[in-house]
Amino acid sequence: MEPLTLGALVAVVTILVLFSGVSVAVGLLIVATGFLLVFDGPASFELLPELFFGKLDNFALLSIPMFVIMGASISSTRAGADLYEALERWMTRVPGGLVVSNLGACALFSAMSGSSPATCAAIGKMGIPEMRKRGYPDGVAAGSIAAGGTLGILIPPSVTMIVYGIATETSIGRLFLAGVLPGLLLVGLFMLWSIYSTWRQGGGDTALGATRYSWKQKIEVLPRVIPFLLIILGVLYALYGGVATPSETAAVGALLCVLAAVFIYRLFRFNALWAVLRDSTRESVMILFIIGAAGVFAFMLSNLFITQAIAEWIAELDVNRWVLMGAINLFLLVAGFFLPPVAVILMAAPILFPIVVSAGFDPYWFAVVLTINMEIGLITPPVGLNLYVINGIAPDIPLKTILLGSMPFVLCMVLSIVILSVFPSIATWLPDTLMGPAQ
């Protein structure tokens, strides 16, 4: 069978297996071992254990459970509530200030926790009822939280960026830096749309009047929020300043976040600490299992010459490189509709990375574009995890309303990709300035 035809068959079978309800990692292993057995014989099975565990034999992977612990320790406290309250008090007099506060809280909390569902749950439980009470349309209230929760996979520290760095053997520190300005760009676009939408529909603070807070009330909430922000800034400084490796930085950050949760939020009970470690272990094992399975899947693609055939076929296409990038974006967008970001990156990176680089695109710029595509998948059906989290928080808001409310934010993400394509230095300037040009 021709490699391209075989590749199409692999794609169809993979989609069917994953849609059957099995976990992503198990599904990838089933497909990989099945095709190797049929087309390469049972002899190739001898390599599978070495491939699986060899993919996990990477020191940089230690940063994943550490950053997950950081997020779990923050998510287990009232840090989200305090962050939301602090921003609400400081920005309540800004036109549309409450929705701006919610988006700011989502951006900061998702950056601290690295978890989209946790951000939606933590900020949405407080923000959505408050916005609805003040007259914000249901679509704006629900859609802004759903979209704001996606920012954690772009704004550093980001587990998604770590996975991309490991899959493509690129600098994790440079990837983190590349996500900073695009992340702020997205936050700005989200805020501008929310303010405009609120003004156009005549809701929000400008209609009902916002609560006035004294300077004392504004300042008294800061001591509970600032320590976590300082930890994040310290982690980023240690990473970018060359003080420590990503794994060492993540370990120190995890320890400091746990200590802050214990001493600031009195998380002394053993059951509470055990829950943090239990949830962190479960999520970390899930991610690492997918990474190991993706290593076996990538070997199958390469061993059956599917990867090489696809790369050769695309290289022979006589099309403009931007047409090629448009096709890649469309593929990533569709893949993100059905699969979690980690799975898409691990499956697609071995094929797309050499093609993107050979077409003259910066690999760190591409990482940002890929991540924004993954963000879109988090708020679009049929998977759209954030939509269902918001629906669980506010069950009286129909899923259709949440989806329609999130669509303008999807357009903001598409606009950000266009802006990054016109001005790629938005993603590359900061890492090039602080770390020098990429080799």
Question: What is the DSSP secondary-structure string of 263-314?
Answer: HHS----HHHHHHHHHHHHHHHHHHHHHHHHHHHHHHHHHHTTHHHHHHHHH
Q: How many domains does the chain have?
A: 1
Q: Domain for residue 6, yes or no?
A: no
Q: Domain for residue 32, yes or no?
A: no
CA separation for the pair 414, 197 (Å, rounded): 18
Q: Domain for residue 3, yes or no?
A: no
Average pLDDT of the segment spanning 108-128: 75
What integer pLDDT is reported at residue 417 of this predicted model? 94
What integer pLDDT is reported at residue 377 of this predicted model? 86
Q: Domain for residue 297, yes or no?
A: yes
Report if pTM > 0.85.
no
Average pLDDT of the segment spanning 72-99: 72
Amino acid at 370: L
Q: Domain for residue 2, yes or no?
A: no
Range of the domain at 237: 53-435
The CA–CA distances, whole Å, from 279 to 286, 291, 387 equal 11, 19, 22
What integer pLDDT is reported at residue 154 of this predicted model? 86
Is pLDDT at 96 greater than 70 in this prediction? no
Q: Domain for residue 370, yes or no?
A: yes
- Other CB atoms closer than 10 Å to residue 263's CB: what's the count? 11
Q: Give me the residue label for tokens 């590359």.
A: 428
Average pLDDT of the segment spanning 280-296: 84
What integer pLDDT is reported at residue 211 of this predicted model? 65
User: What digits encode the pLDDT tens for the residues 134-180?
Assistant: 777 888 888 888 888 888 788 887 788 888 988 888 888 889 889 98
Average pLDDT of the segment spanning 407-433: 93
What integer pLDDT is reported at residue 202 of this predicted model? 60
Tell me the pLDDT band of 316, cut-offs 50, 70 and 90: confident
Q: Give how far the C-alpha of residue 93 lies from the chain's centroid of Cα atoms, to the nearest Å.
A: 31
Q: Domain for residue 131, yes or no?
A: yes
Question: Is the peptide bond between 157 and the residue preceding it cis, with omega within 30 degrees of 0?
Answer: yes
User: What digits encode the pLDDT tens for the residues 142-154?
Assistant: 888 888 888 878 8
| pLDDT, the chain, mean | 81
Comparison of pLDDT for 242 and 17, the residue scoring more = 17
- Other CB atoms closer than 10 Å to residue 66's CB: what's the count? 23
Q: Domain for residue 5, yes or no?
A: no
